[in-house]
Amino acid sequence: MNSFRVSTWAEHAVPLGARRPAGDDAPSGGRNGFPQLAFFYQPDLERVLHEGVARYPHVTVRTGVRVEGLHEDGDGVTVWAREGDRGRQTATRARYVVACDGGRSTVRGLRSIAFTGSTYAQPWLVVDAKLEAPLTDVTSFQFIGNPDRPGVTLPLPGTHHRWEFMVLPGEDHAELATLENARRLVSPWVDPDRITILRHIVYTFHARAADQWRSGRVLLAGDAAHLMPPFAGQGLSSGLRDAHNLAWKLAAVVADGADPSLLDSYENERRPHVTRMTRLTRFSGAMVQTRRRRVATVRDAILKRAAHLPYFTEGRFKPDLRYSSGAFDGSGRRAGAGHAFPQPTVRTSEGRLRPLDDLIGSGWALLGRDLDPQVHLRSESRALWTSLGAAHLSISRPGHRRTPCEAGTVAVEDLDGHALDFFDRHGGDFAILRPDRIVFAMPDIRSLDHVADLYRSLVRGTASPPSAQKVRALQP
């Protein structure tokens, strides 16, 4: 969520299910180059994912298959699965298994990993519909702060729309979830005869996390590792961050000879951020779910004042993606290590405007502030980054692009200033980025080569970190 606005409200005494927005979130751009609030229609996302996976000949997608057993030995894991209810059982061999099989994870159960936390006693009715045209008066996410029945209304891509309504104490879930009641509840917004209701179902939300996210060669990700209420829209986002964090580490272990202990940093890094996000979602839920009129009145007054504060309008209440410890420089000298690096729009030497990620690619990257990283690398360090396929970039202010650079280094201008602001806040002449865009280190010119030793130590486990005396000698 990014920009929070308070809308004009009706009186508290409104018909059951009628509108009374407590506030709405209007998406706007952020330092990562994308809106901090974005909506998607899940069937479209699943279609794109299936089409995307089909591009890779080494990926096999098997549907309608149920995992029934796991056996791990010193070399890998055997996964026993059955096709359908009465199909044949097959065995698949893998070096590692990543369980992304949801909140009721079969794999988590097979590994006897506890799933602790709380289940919300408060269920909600979710209504998904396809409209003739988008609603003109609901253009962004809105909480409906009606103490008689709190709710949520949000537009989805195209003409899809979603409503969520609190199930009140004593209401029968099955009765409330009928098509007739779904039509009644959405009628203050649209004529139910002019829409197609695609789904109407009662959900109970959870705030839970697995006691461990790695069990030998088996790892949990997404809902299998953690569940959170939907009020801040961070469930899928957290799962994607898990995948981004874990994918490059698995690739490093399987293909690049990294020490398997690198995989321990996955939970070490991700769990604290997931915990912070879960707290945000629980707070957001408590804010919208109150049915006490006095509390709602106080909440409304606070939100009305807060709507103009940068802390809310700029989305500062949302926890930044940063890690306190893990697979990055933890010396503390460069505070930017462990943070997600921003993504500005940059201008290339050909005059093209591109998101920074388009130029970095999907691997490691060395970014210099008005400097060409290759110029300041010794041959041994350069060989390491070349073997990893690292990108090299020189970033400067508009009109101050460094020329010329060595072959292979891309010179760009930071048009938004996000990257250069990051350098200003954290210092360092260079930012070494992991494939998940987390800053691995922020060295100065004299300690740039030390980062190669740090990589060998933290990722490959093949070298000891330089002594404190050597590190100090490398500092200016």
- Tell me: do 380 and 442 sit in the same domain: yes
CA 314 to chain centroid: 18
- Ranges of the chain whose pLDDT falls below 50: 1-20, 24-25, 27, 464-476
> pTM value?
0.84
Among residues 223, 256, 289, which one ends one of the domains?
A: 289
User: What CA–CA distances, in Å, run from 398 to 120, 197, 342, 414, 426?
Assistant: 51, 50, 17, 6, 21
For position 331, what pLDDT does the model report? 81
pLDDT one-digit tens code per residue, 330-367: 886 557 999 999 999 999 989 999 999 999 999 999 99
- Tell me: do 77 and 202 sit in the same domain: no
Residue 50 lies in a domain: no
For position 403, what pLDDT does the model report? 64
Residue 298 lies in a domain: no
Among residues 175, 207, 239, which one ends one of the domains?
A: 207
Residue 226 lies in a domain: yes
CATH code for position 270: 3.50.50.60
User: At a CB cut-off of 8 Å and minimum separation 6, what does 454 contact?
Assistant: 329, 440, 441, 465
Residue 86 lies in a domain: yes
For position 318, what pLDDT does the model report? 73
- Tell me: do 456 and 397 sit in the same domain: yes
Q: What is the DSSP string of 311-352?
A: HHHTTTTSPPSB-SSSSS--SSSSTTTTBBPP--EEEETTS-
Among residues 254, 272, 289, which one ends one of the domains?
A: 289
Burial of 212 (0-12, 13-18, 19+ CB in 10 A): middle
- Tell me: do 11 and 135 sit in the same domain: yes
Q: Which residue range(s) make up the domain with 222? A: 59-113+212-289
pLDDT one-digit tens code per residue, 199-235: 999 988 888 999 999 999 999 999 999 988 877 678 8
- Tell me: do 98 and 162 sit in the same domain: no
Nearest Cα neighbor of 366 from 421, 433, 284 is: 433
- Tell me: do 201 and 81 sit in the same domain: no
User: What CA–CA distances, in Å, run from 410 to 33, 358, 391?
Assistant: 19, 12, 8
- Tell me: do 353 and 467 sit in the same domain: yes
For position 38, what pLDDT does the model report? 74
Distance between CA 362 and CA 358 in Å, rounded?
A: 9
Residue 308 lies in a domain: no
- Tell me: do 353 and 458 sit in the same domain: yes
CATH code for position 366: 3.40.30
- Tell me: do 230 and 245 sit in the same domain: yes
CATH code for position 131: 3.30.9.10
Residue 274 lies in a domain: yes
- Tell me: do 135 and 69 sit in the same domain: no
- Token pair 């899809």: residue: 160
- Tell me: do 126 and 106 sit in the same domain: no
Domain count, the chain: 3
For position 469, what pLDDT does the model report? 38
- Tell me: do 372 and 443 sit in the same domain: yes
Residue 424 lies in a domain: yes
Q: What are phi and psi of 331, to 5 degrees?
A: -70, -20
